[in-house]
Amino acid sequence: MTTITLTETASTLQTAVNEMISLPPRYSSLPGCISESAAEQLRTINARALASNDPSNDIEFTERRPPGYSTVFHEFTPRASSETTRERRRAGNLSLQVGGPPSRRGSSESPSSAEDITLSSTSSRSGAPMQFEYHVKSGYAAGRSTPWANLQLFSRSSASPARGSSNGSARIPKYSSKDLVQGCLELNLENPQNINSISLAVIERETRNLIVRGRLVTSSFEGGVYTFYEHTIVNWTRADGDPRTTFSSPEAVGSPLPQSSPSSSSPTSPSSTTRISFSSPTGSRPGTPSGSIRTKRFDAKLFGSYLWPFSFPFPAEVTIPGLDSEGKAYPTPQTFNEKGVNAAVQYEVILKMTHGVLKADSKLNAPIAYAPDIHPGAPSVLRQLAYSQRSRIPGPLADPFGWTTLPPAIVRGRFFGAANGTKLQCSLSLANPLSYTRGTVIPLHLTIRSSDVNALSQLGVPQCVSVQLVRKVRYVDDPAQSISQVNKSGKQPTSILKTGREEVTVVEKAVWWVPPNGSGSNEVDERTMKILEGEIILASDLQPTCSFLLFNVSYEIEICCFDHPSFKPSSTTSSILLFNQVTIASRHGDGPRPIPVSEPPSDSRRQLQRERRDHRQRAREVNALRFMGNVEMFMGNERP
């Protein structure tokens, strides 16, 4: 076996390079751009390098990859092969086979009052949309097991259903700002059926509707449910004409879809199979007949397969119905449904088919989830450099543009048994910009100053410092009534939430540590000043910030008073020394992702910590009520 030494390889490469320097640059692969001798030498070197497996070779080949900034405590996942990449690209253009002649099983009967709604979801390969199917089995023919109404939705991601949902553990579609809500509604009727009642002229709004609805639920009483968003996808009546020809054009569904075959336009024969390919939406209004030509009323029976495909972007902003604010738009609130908060934001796709006066309506509610796209700003250049090199981030002194230092807070108090009181000054710095993506960290920097050496040594330690992230959820019990009052009084719309409710929850606690020696932070007089570094690790399922007019989710970082068993703050010292509002984003910003210094807690540990905090909060409330009761009893006994 031929052994390639480092000297021979370097000499051969140098000869080839020297010969190539005098040649023009190789902008193309045409013959003559490089000499044949140089090309032959390069081919020989490459062949020898690939064939060489001599263990004595001192050349070490290492694969250089950028660090996984967000996977510090996880193993690296190798990139997909080229074949997998090609498969994902081919799956990018979704193609769904729908329609087809219906089966001939069972007998045709009138719709019953009972509805049998089933849900099935299909997880496709990564990069391709996920398919969610909702079926209505009964209600058209009693005892039928084959679905006669199918609603299909497609999304790039999924979410867990809301608590108390009838879907159980099934996943639901999840959309982000301006994501395309794509799907189709399909009816398979085995025999000709009269969907509308005979007294059609009396009931003028016998419709087949498919809408998307967003609503705010604050209570089960009247006025506690407020619909702030409603989008009609399909709205067909007999006055709109033949449903096959009405929605046969691509503009009618908001997506350039192929037309059905001419044989499918007959209302007395099943439609042929149609392949649907979703693409970018058009500018026309979906779900309505195209053109202004007056259509002929459709009085025939429905029979065969009917298909209503649709595609429209999920709105990033919505207007408040009934609010006199000149059509001002507000950010669409995210799906919210948590235990302990008496308010919920729900989105659902609603299908309603009416069959007449004496026939029960067929209904189907498909819940969907929404999360806004909130991107934080880029961190400072020095902090980006530290993240890319996986080193410690510079403090406020070394990187003044990378931090926001809050006004200093004064703490006064007394230690147990001490003759004199003590005074400390705390300065908290937050990393810029004040917007942080959930699943990452919030870097913190704390400086404590005091002339009392004993107090500084006992309180200036990580165990006594308490900084927490607090979430505040604001809402009103009756949104419609609050909007009416604002319109009558002429006040600003932002005053609606001032009279509403507020739910406060401590979501995370900061982790602190003493900077290592030689970091620059310890080059201070420790007798008068202590410096601590810390971070708040954000959970990946944390609700992002929401500034909707009727439902608000905000976050604040609070620095609490020192927690020491022998230190008692003075009456003038508040339990919350400082607080500052921050934004929780849902997407990663530009630049490298922040690297946590401490290990993120597991989901079970987070849940246990939340339960303990809730238990301590309830215990404090109970003790406060008992204390007030004892005071009233004592005052009652003292009265003559």
- Say if CB 503 and CB 472 are below 8 A apart: yes
Which one has a higher pLDDT value, 361 or 266? 361
The residue among 294, 312, 332 that closes a domain is 332
| 295 in the same domain as 171 | yes
The pLDDT score that the predictor gives to residue 228 is: 84
Rounded Cα–Cα distance for residues 488 and 523 (Å): 62
On whether residue 630 sits in a domain, the answer given is: no
Of 301, 287, 353, residue with least CA distance to 190: 301
Rounded Cα–Cα distance for residues 133 and 154 (Å): 9
- Say if CB 545 and CB 553 are below 8 A apart: yes
The pLDDT score that the predictor gives to residue 100 is: 34
On whether residue 370 sits in a domain, the answer given is: no
On whether residue 443 sits in a domain, the answer given is: yes
Which one has a higher pLDDT value, 433 or 99? 433
In this structure, are strands 274-277 and 302-313 parallel, antiparallel, or unpaired? unpaired
Query: Which H, E and C letters describe 185-224, residue by residue?
Result: EEEEEEEEECCCCCCCCCCCCCCEEEEEEEEEECCCCCCC
| 411 in the same domain as 497 | yes
474 CB neighbour count, 10 Å cutoff:
20
Read off the pLDDT of residues 222-246 as tens digits, 9 standing for 90 and up.
667 888 888 887 777 777 777 777 6
Read off the pLDDT of residues 331-384 as tens digits, 9 standing for 90 and up.
999 999 888 788 888 898 888 777 767 777 777 888 899 999 999 999 999 999
Alpha carbon 137 to its chain centroid, in Å, reads 33
Specify the range with the lowest mean pLDDT, choosing from 278-282, 299-303, 611-615: 278-282
Read off the pLDDT of residues 160-202 as tens digits, 9 standing for 90 and up.
886 655 555 578 999 998 788 888 888 887 765 544 422 222 2
Read off the pLDDT of residues 120-164 as tens digits, 9 standing for 90 and up.
555 544 567 899 998 877 655 545 567 778 889 999 988 888 665
| 180 in the same domain as 44 | no
| 462 in the same domain as 328 | no
55 CB neighbour count, 10 Å cutoff:
5
On whether residue 634 sits in a domain, the answer given is: no
**Helix (H) / strand (E) containing 229:** strand 225-236
632 CB neighbour count, 10 Å cutoff:
10
Q: Helix, strand, or coil here: 572?
A: coil
The residues pairing with 547 across neighbouring beta strands, listed in sequence order, are 552
| 140 in the same domain as 36 | no
| 250 in the same domain as 147 | yes
| 299 in the same domain as 157 | yes
Rounded Cα–Cα distance for residues 261 and 274 (Å): 8
- Say if CB 144 and CB 189 are below 8 A apart: no
Alpha carbon 472 to its chain centroid, in Å, reads 18
Q: What is the pTM of this model?
A: 0.69
* Eight-state DSSP code of residue 401: G
- Name the residue range of residue 399's domain: 381-598
The count of C-alpha atoms lying within 13 angstroms of the C-alpha of 237, restricted to the half-sphere facing its C-beta, is: 10
The residue among 332, 365, 395 that closes a domain is 332
| 404 in the same domain as 294 | no
Please give the share of the chain, as a percent, with pLDDT higher than 90. 24
Rounded Cα–Cα distance for residues 185 and 209 (Å): 11
Domain count, the chain: 3
Backbone φ and ψ of 486, nearest 5°: -65, -40
| 442 in the same domain as 297 | no
Which one has a higher pLDDT value, 251 or 406? 406
| 50 in the same domain as 116 | no
Which one has a higher pLDDT value, 533 or 212? 533
- CATH code for position 555: 2.60.40
| Cα-trace Rg, the chain | 34
On whether residue 180 sits in a domain, the answer given is: yes
Which one has a higher pLDDT value, 486 or 613? 486
On whether residue 119 sits in a domain, the answer given is: yes
On whether residue 218 sits in a domain, the answer given is: no
- Say if CB 428 and CB 445 are below 8 A apart: yes
On whether residue 225 sits in a domain, the answer given is: no
> Packing angle between helix 6-21 and helix 36-51, nearest 10 degrees?
150
pLDDT at 23 over 50: no
| 415 in the same domain as 311 | no
| 527 in the same domain as 429 | yes
